[in-house]
Each structure stands twice: as C-alpha cells, then as structure tokens.
Amino acid sequence: MEIRSGEAGSGIRHIAALGASFASGPGIRPMAVRSAGRSRVNYPSLLAARLGARLTDLTVSGATTATVLDIPQRRLLRRFPPQIRGLPADADLVTVTAGGNDLDYIGSMTRHAIAARLAVSPVTRPASRRLRGSGVPVPTTADVERTADALARIVDEVRRRATAARIVLVDYLPVLGPETKPTPDAPFSPDQIAAFRALAHRIAEAFARAAERTGADLLAVSAEEGHALGSAEPWVTGAHGRPPFHPNAAGMRAVADRLERLLAV
C-alpha cells in the first residue's frame, strides 16, 4: 500500500515499513489491508502523515524474519510475497519490526491465556495442559543470535536495494511490565509473567545486537515498561483484546512520536 501526502518537511520523502503485527496494527481501525492485518493508523502510517512523506507499507501480521526476506506468507487465504521484494529503491527511511514470531513471543502468550481460561473446567483442563505444552519459551543464546543475524540480514538487504535509506530497527512495546499482576487481562501466574518478560528482554537483546552489528539505528521502545498491562495507560491490549497482546492506537501513536523525535536528532 502506498500513501502520498504533502512535501516532507523532515527531508524524508518515501518511507517503507517492513515487519509483523507490532508494526502492521491488526485490530486498529480503520484497516488498510484486512488480510495483512494492516491498519491505516499504524506507526508507519502516522509517521508518514506527520512528515508529509509517501508510504510503502509492506507489513503483514504474523510475519517472521524469513517471510520478510525469503519465503512467501499465507494469511487469511492470501499469499504475500517476501516483503523485501516490494521495497522501493527510492525509499529514504525504512523501519523494521520483526523477530518476535521467530521466538514465539505473542503466540505463546496467547496460547497460555487461552489455557488459563480452559483450566477452570474439568472438561477442558486436558486441553489447557496441551496448550501450555512445555511452558513459556526460553530462548537460548543461539536462538537470540539467529534472530539477530536474521535482522542484520534484513538491514543488509535493505541497503542493497534502497542504497540511500536510513534504517531504523523498531523493537517491541512491552506487554508485561513491573506493574503487571495476574488479572483477567494478564491471566498468568507471577512466574509466567516473569518468564514472558524475560522472553521480551531476549527479543530486545536480538535487536540491540543487530543494530550494533550493522550500524542501523535502534528505537528501543521495549524500554517503555511504564505502559505495559497493569499501568495507568497501557499501550497494548490485554487477553480480551482483538487481537490480544498487541499495540493499541495509543501505543502506535507513542511509537510514531518516538520515531519522529529520533529522526529530528
């Protein structure tokens, strides 16, 4: 999807966005491409509108680093080619938010939330145990390295295709933070909350490694733990959100705010 607006006062004329649902904004209306889970008010769209820049939004909910780079992605009966193929050569800013699905971050959180609901009845308790499986994923150092390497490959490929582009790795807004306690919106035990927070920190570590390795800019919105579930102003949805555990409209605005400030430096 490409959006055109006025002249870019920042000097940025064409933004391209790559990544998964924390960039595409599933569930945030109005939708631009429903089959991609792509909102018209996700952070790339908000930033483009503020800067008066064109936008090529290639984000697809559920994407992995592999579907950004190499393999097609199927979602809601539609086949999306690898996102990198759509990258315009004249893009002068490229944002990247991917890697969480590589480490089963939100998928595992959603499964555990469903398991918590099923655990209340003896009839559905066996299904609850199956959903929980082996517990919250615990990425190894090798897992984090693979994700960092994949993010670095995305940066390298962007540089090859859009030679003048500034690249910003935008990591993941926190879902669970220091104020998060077990509630219907966060139906996890304290140990599970701690484990999911540790998983989120490993994803942030992969982004930091990729930025250091490539020299790409890093927008570490993962540090915004004061707006996780349980805070006065959460920037993410809870277990009853559609979809659960994703940025809400306020979260997308916050990411766009921080990107705009970064670009002004």
Residue 176: is its pLDDT beyond 90? yes
Q: How many residues does the chain have?
A: 265
Residue at 50: amino acid letter: R
pLDDT value for 10: 66
Is residue 265 packed enough to be buried (19+ CB in 10 Å), middle (13-18) or exposed (0-12)?
A: exposed
Residue at 232: amino acid letter: A
* pLDDT tens per residue across span 94-121: 999 999 999 999 999 999 999 988 888 8
Do residues 237 and 27 touch, judged by C-beta distance below 8 A?
yes
pLDDT value for 2: 40
Is residue 58 classed as helix, strand or coil in its secondary structure?
Answer: coil
Is residue 98 classed as helix, strand or coil in its secondary structure?
Answer: coil
Residue 3: is its pLDDT beyond 50? no
* pLDDT tens per residue across span 37-92: 999 999 999 999 999 999 999 999 999 999 999 999 999 889 999 999 999 999 99
Instruction: Name the pairing type of β-strands 54-57 and 93-97.
Output: unpaired
The domains of the chain are located at: 2-106+139-264
pTM: 0.94
198 forms beta bridges with: none
φ and ψ at residue 67, rounded to 5 degrees: -80, -15
From the options 3.40.50.10320, 3.40.50.1110, 3.30.420.40, 3.40.50.1820, give the CATH code of 2-106+139-264. Answer: 3.40.50.1110
